[in-house]
Amino acid sequence: MARLIVLFLLSLVTITMAISSSFHASQKRGLIYIPNSDFPEDDEIWVKKGSDLTWYYNYKMYPSSRYENDTALQFVPMLWGAPSSFKDTTFLENVTSQIVQGQNITHVMAFNEPDNTGETGGSNITPDDAAVYWAKQIEPLRKLGVAVGAPAVTGGYSGAAWLANFTTACNGNCTFDFIPIHWYGSFDGLSSHLGDVSAVYPGIDLWVTEFALNDATLNETEQFFQTAVSYMDQHENVTFYSYFGSFRSFTSNVGINVAMLNSYGKLTDIGSWYIGGNSTGVKPDNVTVTPSHATATATSTATYTIPPLATNLLSAAHLSSRPSLALSLGLLALQFQVMA
Ligand SMILES: *[C@@H]1O[C@H](CO)[C@@H](O)[C@H](O)[C@H]1NC(C)=O
Ligand SMILES: *[C@@H]1O[C@H](CO)[C@@H](O)[C@H](O)[C@H]1NC(C)=O
Ligand SMILES: *[C@@H]1O[C@H](CO)[C@@H](O)[C@H](O)[C@H]1NC(C)=O
Ligand SMILES: *[C@@H]1O[C@H](CO)[C@@H](O)[C@H](O)[C@H]1NC(C)=O
Ligand SMILES: *[C@@H]1O[C@H](CO)[C@@H](O)[C@H](O)[C@H]1NC(C)=O
Ligand SMILES: *[C@@H]1O[C@H](CO)[C@@H](O)[C@H](O)[C@H]1NC(C)=O
Ligand SMILES: *[C@@H]1O[C@H](CO)[C@@H](O)[C@H](O)[C@H]1NC(C)=O
Ligand SMILES: *[C@@H]1O[C@H](CO)[C@@H](O)[C@H](O)[C@H]1NC(C)=O
Ligand SMILES: *[C@@H]1O[C@H](CO)[C@@H](O)[C@H](O)[C@H]1NC(C)=O
Each residue's pLDDT tens digit, 287-312: 999 987 654 443 333 333 334 433 33
Q: Which atom of ligand 2 is nearest to the CA of 98?
A: 13
Cα gap 184→309, rounded to integer Å? 8
What does the radius of gyration of the chain's CA atoms come to, in whole angstroms? 20
The pLDDT assigned to 54 comes to 98
192 lines ligand 6 (CB under 6 A): no
pLDDT of residue 219: 98
Residue 274 CB contacts under 8 Å (≥ 6 apart), including other chains: 29, 53, 225, 229, 243, 260
Share of the chain above pLDDT 90, in %: 76
For the segment 81-95, the average pLDDT, to the nearest whole number, is 98
Report how far Cα 253 is from the mean position of its chain's Cα atoms: 15
Is the CB of 239 within 6 Å of ligand 6? Answer: no
Q: What is the mean pLDDT of residues 172-193?
A: 96
pLDDT at 217: 98
Domains, the chain: 22-339 (3.20.20.80)
Q: How far apart (Å, rounded) are the C-alpha atoms in residues 232 and 117?
A: 29
% pLDDT > 70, the chain: 81
Beta strand spans in 95-215 (E): 107-110, 147-148, 178-184, 205-212
Residue 294, pLDDT score: 55
Q: What is the residue with the minimal CA distance to atom 2 of ligand 4?
A: 165
Residue 75 has pLDDT above 60, yes or no: yes
Q: How far apart are CA 250 and CA 247, in angstroms?
A: 9
- Which residue from 20, 22, 52, 280 has its CB within 8 A of the most atoms of ligand 9, so it is best to mutate? 22
**Which of these ranges, 14-28, 175-189, 227-241, 314-328, has the smallest mean pLDDT?**
314-328
Pocket test for ligand 6, best of 181, 196, 198, 239 (most atoms within 8 A of CB): 198
Dist CA 207 CA 238 (whole Å): 6
- Residue 257 CA to residue 271 CA, distance in Å, equals 11
The predicted structure's pLDDT at residue 162: 97
Length of the chain: 340
43-47, 251-255, 274-278, 329-333: which range is least confident on average?
329-333
CB atoms within 10 A of CB 262: 22
Q: Which residues, including other chains, have CB under 8 Å from residue 290's CB and lie 6 or more apart?
A: none
Mean pLDDT on 120-140: 97
Q: Which amino acid is at 326?
A: A
Say if CB 113 and CB 123 are below 8 A apart: yes
The alpha carbon of 29 and the centre of ligand 9 are apart by a number of angstroms equal to 19
Mean per-residue pLDDT of the chain: 85
96-108 pLDDT, tens per residue? Answer: 999 999 999 999 9
Q: How far is the CA of 285 from the centre of ligand 9 (A)?
A: 25
> How remote is the CA of residue 217 from the centroid of ligand 1, in Å?
42
Contacts 24+ apart (CB under 8 A), 271-274: 271/45, 271/246, 273/23, 273/225, 273/226, 273/229, 274/29, 274/53, 274/225, 274/229, 274/243
Closest residue by Cα to atom 4, ligand 4, is: 165
Residue nearest to atom 11 of ligand 2 (CA): 94
Can you give the pLDDT at residue 35? 74
Beta-carbon-side half-sphere exposure of residue 143 (alpha carbons within 13 Å): 10
Taking only the tens place, the pLDDT of each residue in 232-262 is: 999 999 999 999 999 999 999 999 999 999 9
- CB of 71 closer than 6 angstroms to any ligand 1 atom: no
Q: Are residues 223 and 17 in contact, defined by beta-carbon separation less than 8 angstroms? A: yes
Q: pLDDT tier at 201 (50, 70, 90 boundaries)?
A: confident
H or E stretch including 238? strand 238-242
pLDDT in tens, 260-289: 999 999 999 999 999 999 999 999 999 999
- What pLDDT sits at residue 167? 94
How many C-beta atoms surround the C-beta of residue 283 within 10 A?
13
**Which residue has the least CA distance to atom 3 on ligand 6?**
203
Cα 322 from Cα 193, distance rounded (Å): 10
